């Protein structure tokens, strides 16, 4: 076979160039990972201190610090149904600022016409930390004992009951809105900057009842009276609480918490952060603490978490869009 002039020279040269470029890329990637983290890591919680999201972030932080060899701090930036904190992380391009987000990040896609953050474009899923249902609860001396009571009282005296939630556009907010949509009752839905202040007002008699995923410990120690759980079936963590679906068939909502990175974060950093958090979530003490909050630890891959998010976006768009509810 006759070779064109220069072929014997060009092919080895091309191969050499490809090899050198691949080597440079490999060294560059290794250098990025080897150098990271270079400074303090910040976990942003987009809700007020004291709630479950805050507790979980502070539960993970010490072990993550020990594993990565850098201090890990937790900072609270509540507001706008978690969008204030989410936007802060999305705009952070230092490679050391991450979001402890929740199911609210999905809901915000449909509750706001003018979103501060685009979940699909601005944030990268790192790992799903846990799943958790919401609970309806009220003060121990309240006349409300069931979802049926909420419905009957509201129909007899429209607007007389107030439902406290952990924030606008959050899953507890949607839990109350779904009650309204399914039954036609009138409720005054009051958003707070987190579950803890909502619980405090219900305990003090300033709100009729609340929906939040942060209330199970208060139910267990009798500071609040549990009414129902928003999952389709009873939970082994609170088997005494009936699901809302016993009264309203088809009612089903389970929330989650997860860690996100800003778009543009190197894939090696995502992988490293995922690996360490997943290992932390396997620690017995961490699993026990998460269970005490009424939650189930997960710890999946970035791709698996992305699938969960995409499935939720499809599911909840079909449910929320017909409600025609916008918070801006």
The sheet carrying 225-229 orders its strands as 188-191, 162-165, 209-212, 135-138, 225-229
Under a CB-based contact definition with an 8 Å cutoff, are residues 229 and 242 in contact?
Answer: yes
Say what the pLDDT of residue 1 is: 47
pLDDT in tens, 230-266: 999 999 889 999 999 999 999 999 999 999 999 999 9
Percent of the chain whose predicted confidence (pLDDT) is above 90:
71
β-strands 72-76, 162-165 pairing: unpaired
Mean pLDDT of 62-81: 95
HSE toward the beta carbon, residue 12, CA cutoff 13 A? 3
Q: pLDDT (tens digit, 9 = 90+) per residue, 24-36? A: 444 444 445 568 9
Residue-wise pLDDT for 293-319, tens only, equals: 889 999 999 999 999 999 999 999 988
pLDDT over threshold 60, residue 13: no
154-168 exposure pattern, b = at least 16 Cβ within 10 A, e = fewer: beeeeeebbbbbbbb
- Give residue 320's pLDDT: 87
> For residues 239 and 218, what is the distance between their CA atoms, to the nearest angstrom?
15
Domains of the chain: 38-132+255-323 (3.40.190.150), 135-246 (3.40.190.10)
Which is nearest to 151 in space by CA: 116, 118, 197, 186? 186
In this predicted structure, what is the pLDDT of residue 34?
A: 64
Helices (H), the chain: 7-35, 52-68, 83-91, 104-111, 119-122, 147-156, 171-183, 195-203, 216-220, 267-281, 284-292, 302-320
> What are 197-242's pLDDT values in tens digits?
999 999 999 999 999 888 999 999 999 999 999 999 999 889 999 9
Encode pLDDT of 157-187 as tens digits. 999 999 999 887 788 989 999 999 999 999 9
Of the candidates 36, 43, 143, which has an alpha carbon nearest to the alpha carbon of residue 95?
A: 36
Quote the pLDDT of residue 14. 58
Contact 256, 295 (CB under 8 A): no
């Amino acid at each position: 076979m006759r070779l064109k002039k220069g072929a014997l020279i060009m092919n080895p040269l091309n191969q050499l160039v490809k090899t050198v470029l691949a080597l440079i890329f490999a060294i560059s990637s290794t250098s990025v990972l080897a150098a990271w983290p270079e400074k303090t890591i910040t976990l942003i919680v987009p809700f007020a201190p004291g709630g479950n999201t805050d507790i979980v972030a502070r539960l993970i932080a010490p072990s993550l610090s020990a594993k990565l060899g850098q201090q890990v701090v937790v900072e609270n930036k509540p507001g706008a149904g978690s969008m204030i904190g989410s936007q802060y992380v999305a705009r952070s391009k230092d490679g050391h600022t991450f979001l402890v987000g929740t199911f609210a990040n999905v809901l915000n896609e449909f509750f706001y016409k003018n979103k501060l953050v685009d979940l699909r474009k601005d944030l990268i899923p790192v790992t799903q930390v846990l799943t958790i249902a919401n609970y309806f609860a009220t003060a121990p001396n309240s006349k409300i004992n069931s979802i049926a009571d909420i419905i009957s009282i509201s129909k007899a005296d429209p607007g007389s009951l107030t439902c406290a939630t952990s924030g606008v556009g959050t899953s507890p907010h949607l839990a109350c809105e779904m009650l309204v949509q399914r039954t036609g009752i009138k409720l005054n839905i009051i958003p707070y900057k987190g579950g803890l202040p909502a619980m405090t007002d219900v305990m003090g008699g300033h709100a009729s009842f609340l929906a939040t995923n942060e209330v199970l410990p208060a139910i267990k120690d009798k500071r609040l009276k549990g009414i129902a759980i928003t999952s389709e079936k009873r939970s082994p963590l609170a088997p005494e609480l009936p699901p809302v679906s016993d009264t309203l068939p088809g009612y089903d909502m389970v929330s989650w918490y997860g860690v996100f990175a800003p778009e543009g974060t190197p894939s090696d950093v995502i992988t490293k952060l995922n690996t360490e958090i997943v290992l932390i979530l396997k620690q017995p003490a961490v699993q026990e603490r998460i269970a005490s909050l009424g939650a189930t630890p997960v710890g999946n891959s970035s791709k698996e978490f992305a699938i969960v998010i995409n499935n939720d976006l499809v599911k909840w768009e079909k449910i929320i869009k017909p409600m025609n509810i916008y918070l801006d």
